[in-house]
Structure 1
Amino acid sequence: MKKLETLVGKYEVRKKAKKRQSEGDKVSDALLQGHLASLFDIAAPATSSFMIHLKQKDKDFLDDQRGQRKMVMSTVDKESMAKESRKHERLAAERRRKEE
């Protein structure tokens, strides 16, 4: 909890000085981002020492969790797409009826 409070304090200081962009400020921002990324790491701190005993699937999962997030869905939801297209068709037909 103390670590989180410290990071929140550092964030508040950086938030107040967000328009200043000196070299020191840039370094401080980078350090803060690194600390925030490690704060929410799902694996134990000593995971790398016993990773030789993990299955490849588990290693890949940990690497993916620690990596940059892509923020995209892997597949298209066809059911939702069909609903959206029907909705757009219905709205377009309604607009055409109002124009006539």
Structure 2
Amino acid sequence: MKNKGLWLIFICMIILAGCSKKGTEGDYPAAIMVNDTIYYSTGEQLSGEVNESVVIRNITSYTDEMPAKNGEANFNRDLDSEYTFTDEGLAVCIDNEWILFKQQE
């Protein structure tokens, strides 16, 4: 009976240790680094149109963490998203919609 209680404590410790893992995918808000600044998704669609004459760039790399280099994002593994600056802030094209990203205040 005593061994059964020790096994139960041991199993609980293993489960708790596994649940304490940090830095797993999904722990970070959608973000992109541009010009050494991190911009976060507002979740809002851009209210205006993107001026096609402005420079539009593609995301260059993906990370499971917070972006650490210019052009890197943590929300699209396919690297097909475009981004550009607008009067409202940074706009990123996700699923054919321009989503507004802003610096955290």
TM-score by length of 1: 0.21
Structure with higher RCO (Cα < 8 A, 6+ apart):
2
Q: Greater CA radius of gyration, 1 or 2?
A: 1
More strand by share: 2
More helix by share: 1
